């Protein structure tokens, strides 16, 4: 099943059925309930718009991730969000890489198997160092865009 917020292209429109759903602004939800520790943005082809709305409202969660179908998502994290620490999760490899994976929970460490089509871990549960924007841009240039989540932190420092 496919879904996305903006209207699909004319070549893809036949794969969709338009439905109306009640919605609330992301910024208004956060203003009502408070800034989350982590926010996962995954609204097909609309991630950049949501990121920019967060940053315009001066909302900068400690951890954020968004899909990188376009380079503008990375640019929004750097220029609008001021984030300096980056990691990458490849959506296609989540069950292989993060099956039976140790994560931090409020109850302490636990093993968890992330299934196909799930978001995978976030923050420091993603193995490896945090990269600075320049190094991360080179990684994106090497692996390309697509079903890859850019993870950012404003509490962790990038490797030197």
* SS3 label, residue 112: strand
Residue-level pLDDT at 130: 98
Whether the CB-CB separation of 149 and 67 falls below 8 Å is answered with yes
Per the listing, tokens 């299934």 go with: 115
Nearest to 94 by CA among 127, 120, 69, 65: 120
CA distances (Å), origin 64, targets 1, 16, 40 = 25, 29, 6
Residue 6, pLDDT > 80, answer no
What's the order of all strands across the beta sheet hosting 146-153?
38-41, 63-68, 146-153, 85-90
Residues 56-77 have pLDDT tens digits of: 999 999 999 999 988 999 999 9
- What is the architecture, at CATH level 2, of domain 26-92+118-153? 2-Layer Sandwich (3.30)
**Averaged pLDDT score across all residues of the chain:** 92
Whether the CB-CB separation of 57 and 35 falls below 8 Å is answered with no
- Structural domain boundaries in the chain: 26-92+118-153
Residues 77-116 have pLDDT tens digits of: 999 999 999 999 999 999 999 999 999 999 999 999 999 9
């Amino acid at each position: 099943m496919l879904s996305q917020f903006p209207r699909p292209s004319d070549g893809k429109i036949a794969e969709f059925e338009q439905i109306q759903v009640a919605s609330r602004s992301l910024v208004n939800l956060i203003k009502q309930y408070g800034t989350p520790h982590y926010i996962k943005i995954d609204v097909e082809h609309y991630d950049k718009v949501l990121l920019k709305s967060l940053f315009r409202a001066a909302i900068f969660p400690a951890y954020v991730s968004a899909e990188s179908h376009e380079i503008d998502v990375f640019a929004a994290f750097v220029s609008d969000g001021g984030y300096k620490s980056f990691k990458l999760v490849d959506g296609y490899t989540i069950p292989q890489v993060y099956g039976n994976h140790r994560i931090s929970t409020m109850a302490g460490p636990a093993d968890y198997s992330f299934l196909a089509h799930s978001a995978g871990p976030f923050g420091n549960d993603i193995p490896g160092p945090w990269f600075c924007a320049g190094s991360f841009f080179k990684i994106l240039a090497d692996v390309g865009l697509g079903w890859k989540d850019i993870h950012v932190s404003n509490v962790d420092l990038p490797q030197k």
